Amino acid sequence: MNLSNEELRIARRALGIPQAVVAKQSGVGVAFISLIECGYRDIPPAKAQALRDALPITDEELETLLVVHKRVAKQTN
């Protein structure tokens, strides 16, 4: 499953994983993760799988997490 910038941020925060851990596991810098999550940089195709693999969650669990997040966000707005 390919992640958008926002989905990476949502999943990482929900799983309680620091940006530094995702950065180290995917071979990029912490500042680059921050830029991606803030929408200032796109996820490079060459790093997309490494970023996805840094999240210890199945694609099905990730999809569920994102659906729940969107529902909660919708209810609070």
pLDDT in the model for residue 53:
96
b/e per residue, 42-72, with b = 16+ CB within 10 A?
Answer: ebeeeebeebbebbeeeeeebeebbeebeee
pTM value is: 0.90
pLDDT in the model for residue 57:
95
Q: Where are the chain's structural domains?
A: 5-76
Domain spanning 5-76 has what CATH number?
Answer: 1.10.260.40
Per-residue pLDDT of the chain (77 residues; tens, 9 = 90+): 889 999 999 999 999 999 999 999 999 999 999 999 999 999 999 999 999 999 999 999 999 999 999 999 999 87
pLDDT in the model for residue 77:
73
